[in-house]
């Protein structure tokens, strides 16, 4: 799947020459993404910054190849949420902090740095 996504990232004409049908692949990716995101949100609740921050962090770590980036993003996302969950349960024990607050505390500064690195904010 990663090679097909990489083929899409270079353009429709190039993807066609690589044997990937761009329109069909996009539909498959959208449907698969909706199913996976819906399942995760139903099980874990909304944890907004993880989906914004982790893919960019993974790309910075391993480059743009989706074959490498997708597994690294999954591991980074899981690691961030485990660390946030541990922090949420222990920082103010016996009370718990909502996990979304901790992920936002990590995600917001990273997102600001990312926007600066991309040259949008000067």
Same domain, 73 and 53: yes
Same domain, 40 and 53: no
Q: What is the pLDDT of residues 1-32, one digit of tens each?
A: 888 888 888 889 989 999 999 999 999 998 99
Burial class (CB in 10 A: 0-12, 13-18, 19+), 40: middle
Q: What is the pLDDT of residues 77-107, one digit of tens each?
A: 999 999 999 999 999 989 999 888 888 888 8
Angle at alpha carbon of residue 92, lines to 51 and 47, rounded to 5°:
15
pTM over 0.75? The answer is no
Tally of structural domains, the chain:
2
Same domain, 91 and 37: no
Same domain, 37 and 64: no
Same domain, 52 and 77: yes
What range does the domain containing 114 cover? 46-122
> From the CA atom positions of the chain, what is the Rg in Å?
17
């Amino acid at each position: 799947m990663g090679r097909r996504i990489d083929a899409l990232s270079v353009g429709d004409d190039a993807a066609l020459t690589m044997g990937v049908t761009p329109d069909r692949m996009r539909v498959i990716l959208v449907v698969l993404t909706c199913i996976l995101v819906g399942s995760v949100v139903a099980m874990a609740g909304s944890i907004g910054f993880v989906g914004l921050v982790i893919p960019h962090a993974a790309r910075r770590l391993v480059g743009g190849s989706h074959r490498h980036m997708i597994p690294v993003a999954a591991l980074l996302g899981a690691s961030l949420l485990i660390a946030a969950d541990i922090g949420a349960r222990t920082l103010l024990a016996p009370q718990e902090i909502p996990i979304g607050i901790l992920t936002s505390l990590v995600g917001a500064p990273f997102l600001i740095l990312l926007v600066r690195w991309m040259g949008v904010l000067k």
